[in-house]
Amino acid sequence: MSLKVSRRRPLVAQSEIRNMTIECARVGGINLAQGVCDLPVPLPVVRGAAEAMAAGYNIYTRFDGLPALRQAIAAKQERFTGMRVDPDGEVVVSGGATGAFYAACLALLDEGDEVVVFEPYYGYHIVTMASLGIKPAFVTLEPPHWRFTAEDLERAVTARTRAIVLNTPSNPAGKVFTREELALVADFAASHDLFVFTDEIYEHFVFDGRAHVSPATLPGMARRTITISGFSKVYAVTGWRLGYAICDPEWALPIGHFNDLVYVCGPAPLQMGCARGLAELGDDYYAGVSADHQHKRDLFCAALADAGLTPHVPEGAYYALADVTSLPGATAKERALHLLAKTGVACVPGSAFYRGPVGETLARFCFAKEMDVLEDAMARLRRLR
């Protein structure tokens, strides 16, 4: 018998986040490895979905989503970023931001293409592309400032480069790209005629008075940018699997067709729930969740510092990278396992976010937890000292 798995199968072997989650469960620890937010789902979102189910929104929707949700996404994009979006042709509702990114890669990139990616990276971006035969070219950002120059971008380019991926606010560094940095990316994309795939899933979580700038709003960027975001984080509905891509209709149609092929459509009643959330939740809701995460960031980063794990204080999202070189071990993984054994707190080794050696000095902690869980984790970390 010569049955065997595909050549791409090794690419999706157990991720470090899943490994740490399993290790954490084994020792009954506190899981700060997984990026799952414990916050409650806003009532209009839950009610909108429940009412839609009762009202018969239970069948396939159009491949790019229900009109109510596409219209609400277009209105939201204008409200928060000033972008003018046509809900009929420029929005594709998908299976989370993950689905939108996959459908966009399928629709716009070919095997053998290269894509510029900043590291530390979000693993799904890399593995999604690798599974399609697309090669990442890394621009390495280092703590504490995570800065880059136009020359850094140029060094990553070859004749096969077709796109750049931009995750702002970023996971895991919590970097919020400034307008100046985005202008560098815009110039770079224009001069090499690249697509810009964004991942703005943490767009509402920005701290210390910073503003999220949507890359598509920069001059010259509208046509080349595939703006990707979703509801998992902002409404704490990671299990609903709803996100979207916004882009020029010339790209939205093929993205929609691949979205249809892989997902058919987003879950119909849940689409209505998210549409209701977008329509009814006011600025106070968004400011509230951001302030809540900022408060937890401050508490948690203080605990990391007390534990001797110097934090690289994030500007957005809900993760903190910390310097773990004070822990015993030769690699980030050994250090993370030591921390788990000693304190019962699980984190992700920084090597999960870097190809190069920088990751071995770092670990990522998710602080979007209920207060009692976070307090328990902080008390355990402080006992390290």
> Of 61, 98, 271, 343, which one interacts with ligand PLP (CB under 6 A)?
98
Residue from 19, 31, 140, 167 touching ligand PLP (CB under 6 A): that is 167
Q: Which is nearer to ligand PLP, 221 or 366 (CB)?
A: 366
**Smallest Cα–Cα separation from 321: which of 304, 337, 334?**
304
- Mask of contacts with ligand PLP, 262-301, x by CB under 6 A? ----------------------------------------
Binding segment toward ligand PLP, per CB under 6 A, in 230-238, 285-293, 327-335, 370-378: 230-238
**Binding of ligand PLP by 243 (CB under 6 A):** yes
In angstroms, give the least distance from the CB of 207 to ligand PLP. Answer: 17
Among 57, 102, 122, 300, binds ligand PLP (CB under 6 A): 122
* Binding span for ligand PLP by CB under 6 A among 70-78, 82-90, 94-102, 248-256: 94-102
Contact segment (CB under 6 A) with ligand PLP among 69-77, 90-98, 181-189, 205-213 equals 90-98
**Contact range with ligand PLP by CB under 6 A, out of 93-101, 152-160, 184-192, 214-222:** 93-101
User: Smallest gap, in angstroms, from Cβ of residue 219 to ligand PLP?
Assistant: 25
Of 38 and 110, which has the nearer Cβ to ligand PLP? 38
- Our finding on whether 169 is near ligand PLP (CB under 6 A) is no
Does residue 61 interact with ligand PLP by CB under 6 A? no
- Please report whether residue 232 would count as binding ligand PLP according to CB under 6 A: yes
Gap between the Cα atoms of 300 and 311, Å rounded: 9
Closer to ligand PLP at the Cβ: 35 or 48?
Answer: 35
Q: Does 215 engage in binding with ligand PLP (CB under 6 A)?
A: no
Q: Which is nearer to ligand PLP, 57 or 353 (CB)?
A: 353
122 or 146: CB nearest ligand PLP = 122
Backbone φ and ψ of 305, nearest 5°: -60, -45
CB 265 within 8 A of CB 65: yes
Q: Which of 120, 136, 230, 311 binds ligand PLP (CB under 6 A)?
A: 230
Task: Give the residues lining the site for ligand PLP (CB under 6 A).
Answer: 35, 96-98, 122, 167, 171, 199, 201, 230, 232, 238, 243
